[in-house]
């Protein structure tokens, strides 16, 4: 069995490169899961999740990778399991949760600017994105109705694994001995406000400058090595 960590916020590959250069470590990108699944080479995989979510399309991309993987896959919520992380988990054959995990299933959000036509188009796009998410959730065998899940997403609250089990969004709640736990008191908290890292244009530019400087240094080093090799060849002539 192979454990694969899905930890921290979900970002696209390019943004993850920039954030990691700035020192952020709790990040998962599609390239991380892609490489881990390649290394697993068909072995049974457990996706260990402690993530508040992030980019919706990153979650669905990881979901697709897991659905296409040749081996058996299990998702295990260990801490946070929210937003796009729940979409990634839905690509696994089985979804489990530790009793202490906090799970959140909510409507997608985004920023927009422009006139009222732009605002209306943005609102319509978000409703369509919500419908895409609902299609994923309701595709699971035993899930509650679309209306029930829509109501849950509208509430935007943290729910317990036991509640998620009742909604049909996960398959098992693990007890201390590793078997399914029959119940437990639900813990509901108001969902935290968006704490997504702010990746600014300045941060991206400094990262590009860093890469350019590295390439320039590598080119100078290569030129120096070539010159030294030529001098040595002339000396041995």
CA 57 to chain centre: 9
Closest alpha carbon to 104 in 80, 88, 126? 80
Let me know: does 93 contact 63? Beta carbons within 8 Å: no
37: part of which helix (H) or strand (E)? helix 30-40
| 106 vs 177, more confident | 106
Active-site positions?
Answer: 83, 106
d(CA 120, CA 136): 25
pLDDT cut 90: percent of the chain above it: 71
Hey, which residues does 97 pair with through a beta bridge? 77, 173
Pick from 138, 128, 73: which is nearest to 105 by CA?
A: 138
pTM (2 decimals)?
Answer: 0.79
C-alpha 19/C-alpha 26 separation (Å) is 10
Looking up tokens 């937003």, which residue turns up? 83
Q: For residue 81, give the H/E element and its range.
A: strand 73-82
Above 80 in pLDDT, residue 190?
no
Percent helix, strand, coil in the chain, to 5, is 50, 20, 35
* pLDDT at residue 183 is higher than 50: no
**Per residue in 88-118, pLDDT tens?**
999 999 999 999 999 999 999 998 899 999 9
Would you place residue 192 in the very low, low, confident or very high pLDDT band (cuts 50, 70, 90)?
very low
Q: Answer whether 205's CB lies under 8 Å from 19's CB.
A: no
Reported as a pLDDT band with limits 50, 70 and 90, residue 227 is confident
Tokens 């990881």 label which residue? 62
Q: Is 28 helix (H, G, I), strand (E, B) or coil?
A: strand
For residue 182, what pLDDT is reported?
A: 44
pLDDT, greater one: 111 or 69: 69
pLDDT grade for 144, boundaries at 50, 70 and 90: very high
Distance, CA of 157 to CA of 72 (rounded, Å): 31
CA distance linking residue 15 with residue 98, whole number of Å: 30
Contact of 104 with 158, CB cutoff 8 Å = yes
Nearest Cα to 104, choosing from 127, 126, 87? 87
- pLDDT score of 150: 97
pLDDT value of residue 195 = 59
Alpha carbon distance 75, 203 (integer Å):
33
Percent of the chain with pLDDT over 70: 89
């Amino acid at each position: 069995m192979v454990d694969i960590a899905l930890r921290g916020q979900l970002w696209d590959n390019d943004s993850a490169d920039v954030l990691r250069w700035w020192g952020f470590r709790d990040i998962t990108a599609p390239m991380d899961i892609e490489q881990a699944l390649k290394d697993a080479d068909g072995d049974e995989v457990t996706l260990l999740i402690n993530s508040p979510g992030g980019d919706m399309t990153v979650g669905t991309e990881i979901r697709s990778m897991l659905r296409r993987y040749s081996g058996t896959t299990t998702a295990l919520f260990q801490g946070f399991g929210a937003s796009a992380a729940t979409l990634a988990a839905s690509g696994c054959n089985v979804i489990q949760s530790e009793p202490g995990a906090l799970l959140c299933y909510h409507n997608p959000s985004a920023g927009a600017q422009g006139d009222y036509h732009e605002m209306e188009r943005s609102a319509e796009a978000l409703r369509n994105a919500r419908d895409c998410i609902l299609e994923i959730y309701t595709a699971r065998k035993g899930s509650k109705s679309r209306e029930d899940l829509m109501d849950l997403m509208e509430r935007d609250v943290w729910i317990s694994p036991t509640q998620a089990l009742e909604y049909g969004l996960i398959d098992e709640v693990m007890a201390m001995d590793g078997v399914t736990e029959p119940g437990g008191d639900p813990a509901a908290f108001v969902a935290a406000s968006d704490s997504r890292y702010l990746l600014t244009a300045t941060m991206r530019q400094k990262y590009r400058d860093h890469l350019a400087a590295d390439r320039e240094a590598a080119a100078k080093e290569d030129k120096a090595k070539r010159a030294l090799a030529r001098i040595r060849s002339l000396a041995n002539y």
